Chain A
Amino acid sequence: MKPATLEFIKQRFTEYYREGHLIAPPSVSEREWGFMYFESQAAAISMHRHMAFSAKRELFDYIRNVVPAHIYYSSAYYAEPAAPTMGEKRWYGADLIFDLDADHIMKGPYHLMLSKVKEETEKLLEMLTEELGFEKRAIRVVFSGGRGYHIHVTDISIRSWGSRERREIVDYVRGIGIEPRTIFSRDAQECAGGWRSRLQDVMEEYLAWLKERSANEALEHLTSIGGIGAAIANDVIKGIEDMIGELHRGDVPLLLRRRGVKTILSEKNPEFRRRLEECSARADEPVTTDTKRLIRMPTSLHGGSGLRVTPLAVRDLPAFDPLIDAVVFGRREVEVEPALTTSTRFLDNDYRVEKGVTERIPEALAVFLCCRGLAEIAGGRSIAAG
């Protein structure tokens, strides 16, 4: 990055932080803080952590004076957050965090990734509130400023949970370890929603798909599943109509007792698993089970995009558009030199910049492109990348 570009971004960040948009997380003084600075970005990227602030004023002063590129705090609460080792910090709890990152879900244009990951977030919220019963007011949704959303559950009754308990929750939303036989061995007992009904749908979809295959295709598909030989595969193909019937009659246990079906309708079958994943909420597991993570501070700016890490109430998510609502800079025009030809949907417009063709674009877009390394401020002297 050219010095002029760096200077430009840093000035914009300074302006934003000086204007006072910051909101501190609850219990500031019990959190560990971590920062990445613009100055050290060129060098090996390094996080400066184990920092602590006794009050939000002190934190804000620091941010306004130093203007970091990235700001993080611990989901954990510590007695001594600045202590250098985890043992000395004395952990006594942590918020429950979910990280939904479009990178783990799909590849494609940025705005499409963002809308896909938003759907995923809505699915997760629905599971957390409707099924698991977490209260909406204990849940904060945050646009990460990058490719996804974070969910913070601050419910005090689960604060002391270790990884083991957190894993139970993330496995639930992800559908990990699901055992159809166990689920359908019980009566629905006025509680037939959740994974039971999702699983039923997936089975239906999959069997319908299988039925559509030609005999050869179906055979090839089934025998590619570990543990399924030609004999079982042929049984399944012959019995497909009966199986669909059993499913519709709600006689799933009978269906699952058929030879090979337990394997075919399981995670071992990639075709089945893919459908199962579609209806799960794809939160990144290690983030949830790690009780000592650093997470981006809501209301800070993301140094890799210039977008605002935006906190949202659950009810505000549906109307939220990150490429409008997380943009904090203005429309004043700035001249940039694109490093790559890029098409971007931004502030409700479609922009296209050509590699090497200097162009005047709104400041907000300039920050976005420069932060992502897609453009430089025009006219600045270049320095060798180091």
Chain B
Amino acid sequence: MGERLDLKFLARYPFLKESQEYVGERVLDLDRFLSSGYGRLILNRGAERVMASIGFKGVLPGEQVGEPERALYSYALARVIVSCIGERDLIERLCRYEAAKATALFLEEGEEGQKFVSSRLGIDLGSREMPVVKYVELASFMRSESWRLVNRAVCRGRVRLEREELIELMREQIRQIIQKQLPLQVNAELCEKIAPMRQEILRVLQEQTLQQFGEVQESSFPPCMRALIDAITSGRNLPHQGRFALTAFLHTIGLSNTEIVEIYRRAPDFDISKTMYQVDHIAGARGTEYTPPSCATMRTYSLCIGKDEFCERVGHPLRYYLRRKKGAKKKRERGSGDLPGDSPAGAADDGEIDEERNRVAETIARHRREDEEKKDEEQQS
């Protein structure tokens, strides 16, 4: 296998231990490296990698690795860049992009190379099965219902799989490996060197997010979120769970942290530093993933307020928002209705959301299951 581990091979799979060691052994002082002309060139390549991940839609035609050494370094620097910026969404995009890229290259790899990579990942492509524990760790992140364990042939602790499915799970595993290492601990001076590209990357990210979610439309907010905003505005003290739910909701639909803080500013007892801290925390600046609570959780905390007929059809405030918004848009397109989104017009098109390849769609697919469960509960009671 030694012969396989040439530089070109490593460059195709930069997440492998050997690849990271190769970079680690050569770039001992990142600070000095970035001060060199070559270093600056590579840094730009790294930024291009990040940019490519932002626009990434899941297809990678004719993937090129380019000059292997540059490719390895630019992968390393892309990770540094997203770590300095610290946006969770950006990190996730990079991981998805890099995993898809490596998988695309894997499919063109020779037999021996494939064997090496897959054994490193602990996936036996020839066996057509996988232990339940490993399967669950990978497939629980996959959206489609066909990945649910309950819909699988499971015997004696093993899940039967087609080769294509094993490859998809392999991509997921690469994504998880990359994601687990991020964000890297990067010192502030180093991040200074990245500062010039930070604005541009954030701008493109924001643009992309807006494209996916469209503009924020307050009229489509679910009643519980409106009630929370009303409570803030009228000076009532919001319980922690309420702040959490609202902040996570607003963050997920695309409000920037500053915009979220603006909403809290309406409160009479507004404390900017405390609010900033809380918002940063919930919006994931410290690395933990927070998604807004489901309707069931909202009910548990008595935050399900002003439930309307739309709520009956959803199990999650986010889903309410997207449906309502879609309904509103349809109405506008039909040129009717001065009350956008007042009828449950968007309620029938469950399938469309499946098309969206983004984090929120992923969250929502999960919530759809909760919808179903909720319906079940209602029918039972």
Partner-B contacts on A (CB < 8 A):
130-134, 155, 157-158, 161, 164-165, 167-169, 171-172, 175-179, 182-183, 186, 188-196, 267-268, 270, 273
Q: Is B145 an interface residue (CB 8 A)?
A: yes
In whole Å, how far is B229's beta carbon from the nearest beta carbon of chain A? 27
| Contact in complex: A178, B150 (CB < 8 Å) | yes
Please give, as numbers and ranges, the residues of chain A lying within 8 Å of B126 by CB-CB distance: none
Q: From B128, B145, B148, name the one whose CB has the most chain A CB atoms within 10 angstroms.
A: B148
Q: From B151, B157, B373, name the one whose CB has the most chain A CB atoms within 10 angstroms.
A: B151
In whole Å, how far is A341's beta carbon from the nearest beta carbon of chain B? 30
Report the Cα distance A169→B31, complex, angstroms: 47
Which of A133, A164, A189 touches B131 (beta carbons < 8 Å)? A133
Please give, as numbers and ranges, the residues of chain B lying within 8 Å of A273 by CB-CB distance: 376, 379
Interface residues of B in 140-165 (CB under 8 A from A): 140-141, 145-146, 148-151, 153-158, 160
Report the Cα distance A190→B128, complex, angstroms: 12
Please give, as numbers and ranges, the residues of chain A lying within 8 Å of B311 by CB-CB distance: none
In whole Å, how far is A250's beta carbon from the nearest beta carbon of chain B? 15
| Contact in complex: B160, A171 (CB < 8 Å) | no
Please give, as numbers and ranges, the residues of chain A lying within 8 Å of B107 by CB-CB distance: none
| Contact in complex: B379, A178 (CB < 8 Å) | no
| Contact in complex: A168, B139 (CB < 8 Å) | yes
In whole Å, how far is A223's beta carbon from the nearest beta carbon of chain B? 16
| Contact in complex: B149, A168 (CB < 8 Å) | yes
Please give, as numbers and ranges, the residues of chain B lying within 8 Å of A194 by CB-CB distance: 153-155
Q: From B146, B150, B158, B372, name the one whose CB has the most chain A CB atoms within 10 angstroms.
A: B150
21 A-B pairs with C-beta separation under 8 A: A131-B154, A131-B157, A132-B132, A132-B154, A132-B157, A133-B132, A134-B157, A157-B133, A164-B140, A165-B137, A167-B140, A168-B149, A171-B148, A171-B369, A177-B369, A182-B146, A183-B153, A188-B153, A194-B154, A267-B376, A273-B376
Interface residues of B in 264-314 (CB under 8 A from A): none
Please give, as numbers and ranges, the residues of chain B lying within 8 Å of A192 by CB-CB distance: 153
Classify chain B's interface size: 20 to 34
Report the Cα distance A150→B148, complex, angstroms: 24
Report the Cα distance A268→B375, complex, angstroms: 9
Please give, as numbers and ranges, the residues of chain A lying within 8 Å of B156 by CB-CB distance: 130-131, 133
Q: Which 4 A-B pairs have the closest CB atoms?
A: A133-B157, A191-B155, A191-B153, A182-B151
Q: Is B136 an interface residue (CB 8 A)?
A: yes
B158: nearest residue on chain A (CB-CB)?
A: A133
Please give, as numbers and ranges, the residues of chain A lying within 8 Å of B145 by CB-CB distance: 177, 179, 182
Please give, as numbers and ranges, the residues of chain A lying within 8 Å of B160 by CB-CB distance: 186, 189, 191
Contacts A172-B149, A189-B128 supplied; 13 other A-B pairs, CB < 8 Å:
A131-B155, A132-B132, A133-B132, A155-B133, A165-B136, A172-B150, A176-B373, A177-B372, A186-B153, A189-B160, A190-B155, A195-B154, A273-B379
Question: Given A194-B154, A195-B150 in contact, is the A158-B133 Cβ separation under 8 Å?
Answer: yes
| Contact in complex: A179, B146 (CB < 8 Å) | yes
In whole Å, how far is B88's beta carbon from the nearest beta carbon of chain A? 16
Report the Cα distance A196→B137, complex, angstroms: 22
Q: From B136, B141, B156, B375, name the one whose CB has the most chain A CB atoms within 10 angstroms.
A: B136
Please give, as numbers and ranges, the residues of chain B lying within 8 Å of A270 by CB-CB distance: 379
Please give, as numbers and ranges, the residues of chain A lying within 8 Å of B157 by CB-CB distance: 131-134
Report the Cα distance A183→B128, complex, angstroms: 17
| Contact in complex: B132, A183 (CB < 8 Å) | no
| Contact in complex: B133, A177 (CB < 8 Å) | no
Please give, as numbers and ranges, the residues of chain A lying within 8 Å of B151 by CB-CB distance: 177-179, 182-183, 195
Which of A161, A171, A191, A196 touches B149 (beta carbons < 8 Å)? A171
Which of A133, A155, A157, A175 touches B150 (beta carbons < 8 Å)? A175
B146: nearest residue on chain A (CB-CB)?
A: A182
